């Protein structure tokens, strides 16, 4: 079983739709969680950190459920420019390096 | 530009050749990471430096791979006797360090390696 699992998609949604991605992680001692966005052939860029209390940034909302060991990302009012791969990232507590463990990424395509 | 930079951006080499990549992190960041990403997968951790000390290496980093960060600033990743399976995007990232609250990693544009 992979440490971080995501549905690879692709998710094809019309402009204006709401779309949600989930990610599960296996290490219950994980301590930091992030969503990164990666455009085709580009580097990952931080979209948002994920906190136990949940956090929102404009059209994007991230939630963390430690009991069930999953992270979610909700995108409201999808734009064409949201088309990208969304990477779920976990940092294991057992690692003093704070290295990132990535999921495979979920591809989103927003259609006109 | 004060972001993470990597050189070269692209490298095509023949199987069996040695290649070296360079990463220049954000100047005040003391943590530096190397990752490898293949098509359709998320990046995979290779190795980590805190200042000049290499503190963790993944099992993915075979003995053909070596990384250095001699003065705690830029880092190099060398692959000896390249194999076709080494073809991937090699990403460098840096972070400020100081605990989980300063863990956000900033990625460079990557070096895309093609081994023929």
So what's the pLDDT on residue A97?
A: 74
Q: Is B102 helix (H, G, I), strand (E, B) or coil?
A: helix
Distances (CA, A) of B84 to A108, B6, B15, B79, B113: 30, 22, 6, 12, 10
List the structure tokens of B78.
Answer: 């060398």
**Cβ pairs bridging A and B (under 8 Å):** 58
Residue of A nearest to B109 (CA): A43
Judged by CB atoms closer than 8 Å, whether chains meet at B41 and A104 is answered as yes
pLDDT digits (tens, 9 = 90+) for A15-24: 999 999 999 9
Per CB-CB distance under 8 Å, the chain B contacts of A31 are 100
So what's the pLDDT on residue A88?
A: 96
Per CB-CB distance under 8 Å, the chain A contacts of B112 are 41
pLDDT digits (tens, 9 = 90+) for A75-103: 999 999 999 999 999 998 766 778 999 99
Query: Which of B42, B101, B112 is the best mutation test for A, with the most CBs of A within 10 A?
Result: B42
Per CB-CB distance under 8 Å, the chain B contacts of A46 are 104-106
Distance CA A33, CA B109 (A): 22
Which of B33, B44, B109 comes nearest A43 by C-beta? Answer: B109
Does residue A37 surpass a pLDDT of 70? yes
Does residue A51 surpass a pLDDT of 60? yes
Q: Provide the residue-wise pLDDT of chain B in tens; the chain has 116 residues.
A: 579 999 999 999 999 999 999 999 999 899 999 999 999 999 999 999 999 999 999 988 889 999 999 988 999 999 999 999 999 999 999 998 776 666 789 999 999 999 99
Judged by CB atoms closer than 8 Å, whether chains meet at A32 and B41 is answered as no
φ and ψ at B84, to 5 degrees? Answer: -60, -30
pLDDT digits (tens, 9 = 90+) for B12-42: 999 999 999 999 999 989 999 999 999 999 9
Residue of B nearest to A5 (CA): B42
Mean pLDDT, chain A, whole residue set: 93
Does residue A56 surpass a pLDDT of 80? yes
Distance CA B58, CA B50 (A): 15
Which percentage of chain A shows pLDDT scores above 90? 79
């Amino acid at each position: 079983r992979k440490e971080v699992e995501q549905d690879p998609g692709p998710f094809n949604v019309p402009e204006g739709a709401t779309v949600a991605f989930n990610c599960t992680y296996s290490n219950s001692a994980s301590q930091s969680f992030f969503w990164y966005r990666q455009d085709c052939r580009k580097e990952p860029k931080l979209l948002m950190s994920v906190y136990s209390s949940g956090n929102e940034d404009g059209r994007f909302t991230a939630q963390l459920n430690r009991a069930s060991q999953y992270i979610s990302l909700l995108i409201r009012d999808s734009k064409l420019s949201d088309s990208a791969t969304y990477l779920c990232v976990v940092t294991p507590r057992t690692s003093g390096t704070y290295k990132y463990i990535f999921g495979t990424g979920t591809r989103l395509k927003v259609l006109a | 530009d004060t972001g993470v930079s990597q050189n070269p951006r692209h490298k095509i080499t023949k199987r069996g050749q040695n290649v070296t990549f360079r990463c220049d992190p954000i100047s005040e960041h003391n943590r530096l990471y190397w990752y490898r990403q293949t098509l359709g997968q998320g990046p995979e951790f290779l190795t980590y430096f805190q200042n000049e000390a290499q503190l963790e290496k993944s099992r993915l980093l075979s003995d053909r791979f070596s990384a250095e960060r001699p003065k705690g600033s830029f880092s190099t990743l060398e692959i000896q006797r390249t194999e076709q399976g080494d073809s991937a995007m090699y990403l460098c990232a840096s972070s400020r360090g100081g605990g989980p609250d300063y863990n956000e990693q900033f990625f460079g544009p990557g070096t895309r390696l093609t081994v023929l």
